[in-house]
Every structure is written in structure tokens, then in C-alpha cells.
Amino acid sequence: MRSAPVLMILASFLFASMGVCVKLASAYYPAGEIVFYRGLTGTLLLAGLTRWRGGTLRTQVPSMHFWRSLTGVSALCLWFYSIGNLPLATSMTLNYMSSVWMTLFLIGGAAVLGTARVDGRLIATVLTGFIGVGLILRPTIAENQLWHGLIGLLSGVVSATAYLQVSALGRAGEPESRIVFYFSLGGVLAGALSMLWTGMHAHTWTGAALLLAVGLLATTAQLLMTRAYSTGRTLVNASLQYLGIAFSFAYGVLVFSDPVTWMALAGMVLIVGAGLFATRLRQESPPQRDISVLPES
């Protein structure tokens, strides 16, 4: 039986590999169409897996799944769009800012409700994350990619709200496979709606293979990551999850000849550090079923 760290490392590598396929597929399809096929693959795989295990996809909380899918699929569309227009590691890092955004939501909630004193460490974590964002986005301004960078940053914001929905579904007793199934189904519906506007593009063997790879890699990685978080330590898993940025950076340099700048590297280090510290601070809060750190891919 594989240990949780091994599962997490493999999942991180598969997510980075999925990012490569998304970036390559962006030359053939718009983001919405990629989301459609990614969701279709996930829906079919999870439906078959649930039936094989003798489970059920029936839910007593359809409205919760709706809002989780709405936010999650929106974040996924934004992320896939940014992957197609930014260096791979940059897009991956901006999406992983979600942990920092969740910390900012925590600060805002405490300030508005007045339920607790705002921890200075939380503020320092958020500021560190934003300094990292500034360093990452600064090299892209000269390349007229600021808009795409902001889209990538927004994907992290929306992902943070989706994670809160996932956490609520976990507390409601919904199994991870069912949560991911309805998320994938939401991707199918959202992608289909987008194709009413962009149209359905003709397939080539290369394009079809990339779409299939995106779906298989994302679904497999998500299942591995879910298993890792259910059996391993949250902080260890979160630390290993950030290996996805390192894998993406290597892919970007080797496959796409992405430029290497000290500012971008420093920004990634700051965001990873802020994300890990934010995870540690959340662990110090009252324990709950933690599946809120799973990425929306």
C-alpha cells in the first residue's frame, strides 16, 4: 500500500503534467471546451468507479453541490485560460494563492464579526503572499501579460471560495468521489454552454489525445490527492503539494522554453512559504474534516 507522501508527490506530478497538456491543447481549443472534455472524462470515470464500488451518486444536498460546482468550475475556466497565456509555473503559482486568500477571508470574517482578535501572523502571511504576487507579475508586464496574470490571480480567489464549499460538503457527510463527480458534471454543463458561443472545434488526433490526457491526468491526480489527504498529515501533504510548482517550472523551461527570472523565482518561494504557513495556522483552529485544500483541476 502506497504511503500518503508518495501519493501526494505522484498527484503533484500528474497535475503539473495536466497543465502541460492544457497549455498544448490551448492551441487547438478555447478554455471552455477544454473544461468540457476534462469534465466529461471525469464524470464517466467517477460514475464507473462509484458503480464498481457499489456506491451511489444520489445526494441529499443538491443545492450545496450546485454552488460548489459553480465556484469550482468558474475557477477552473479562469485557470485554464491563464495556463494558455502565461508561463506554466506562473499560472500554477497564482492559482495556488488560494490558501493565502482563505487566510484573508479569515481575517475579514474576524474583523467584521468581531468574534476574535486578528492574529498578526495571519496579516504577515497575507502580506508575504501579495509580495510574492507582485514579484511574479512584474516580469510579465513588459510582455503585455498583466491581464492574463490578473485572471490567474482571480482563479485563486474563486478557488478559495470553492474550497469553503468543499469543506462544508465534507462536514455534511458527502464522500469525496461524489463531490468530485458533481464538480466534473458542472464542468460538462459549463463547457457546453461556452461552446454555444465559441462553437465546437474540429478534432485532430493530436488535439483529441491532449483532451483525453487532460481528463485522465486531472481525475487520477485528484483521486490520489484525495486519498493522500484522507490518510496522511495535512501539513505534510500541503508541503508536498507545492512540488507541483517545481514540476511546472521544470516543464516550462524544458518544454516551452519559459524564461527564468530571479523575481519570478523569489515570488514563487514567497507564495509557497505563505501558503504553507497559512495551512499551519488553519490546522491550529478547531479540527474538522479537511478536504478543503484539494485543487480545482
* Residue 240: per-residue pLDDT: 78
pLDDT of residue 27: 93
Lookup: cell for 227? 486519498
Q: What angle do CA 283, 110, 93 make, to 5 degrees?
A: 55
Predicted pLDDT of residue 18: 96
pLDDT bucket at 143, cuts 50 / 70 / 90: low
Q: What is the pLDDT of residue 293?
A: 46
Of 96, 63, 21, 65, nearest to 296 (Cα)?
96
Distance CA 148, CA 122 (A): 28
In order of 50, 90, 133, 184, 241, the CA distances from 53 in angstroms are 5, 38, 43, 19, 27
Q: Give mean pLDDT, residues 111-123.
A: 64
Q: Is the pTM of this model over 0.85?
A: no
All structural domains of the chain with their residue ranges: 4-283
Rounded CA separation 102/278 (Å): 8
pLDDT band, very low/low/confident/very high, at 80 (cuts 50, 70, 90): very high
Could you write out the DSSP letters of every residue in 1-51? ---HHHHHHHHHHHHHHHHHHHHHHTTTS-HHHHHHHHHHHHHHHHHHHHH
pLDDT > 90? residue 284: no
Catalogue the long-range contacts made by 171-176 (C-beta closer than 8 Å, 24 or more residues apart): 171/288, 171/289, 172/61, 172/64, 174/59, 174/61, 174/64, 174/65, 175/55, 176/226, 176/230, 176/291, 176/294
User: What's the pLDDT tens digit per position in 228-265?
Assistant: 776 777 667 777 788 888 888 889 889 998 887 888 88
pLDDT above 90: residue 269: no
Q: Which amino acid is it at 58? A: R
Give me the half-sphere count of Cα atoms (radius 13 Å) on the Cβ side of residue 223.
15
Residues 100, 129 contacting (CB under 8 angstroms): yes
pLDDT at 70 over 60: yes
pLDDT bucket at 289, cuts 50 / 70 / 90: very low
Closest CA to 272 of 89, 140, 145, 120: 89
Confidence at residue 64, expressed as pLDDT on a 0 to 100 scale: 92
- Encode pLDDT of 44-68 as tens digits: 999 999 999 888 999 999 999 999 9
**pLDDT of 161-210, one tens digit each?**
887 787 788 788 888 888 889 999 999 999 999 999 888 899 999 999 99
Q: Give the C-alpha separation, 244 to 238, whole Å.
A: 11
Cell 506554466: give the residue.
88
Q: What is the C-alpha radius of gyration for the chain, rounded to an integer number of angstroms?
A: 18
Q: What is the pLDDT of residues 15-46, one digit of tens each?
A: 999 999 999 999 999 999 999 999 999 999 99
Percentages helix, strand, coil for the chain (3-state, rounded to 5) are 80, 0, 20
223 pLDDT exceeds 80? Answer: yes
What pLDDT sits at residue 25?
96
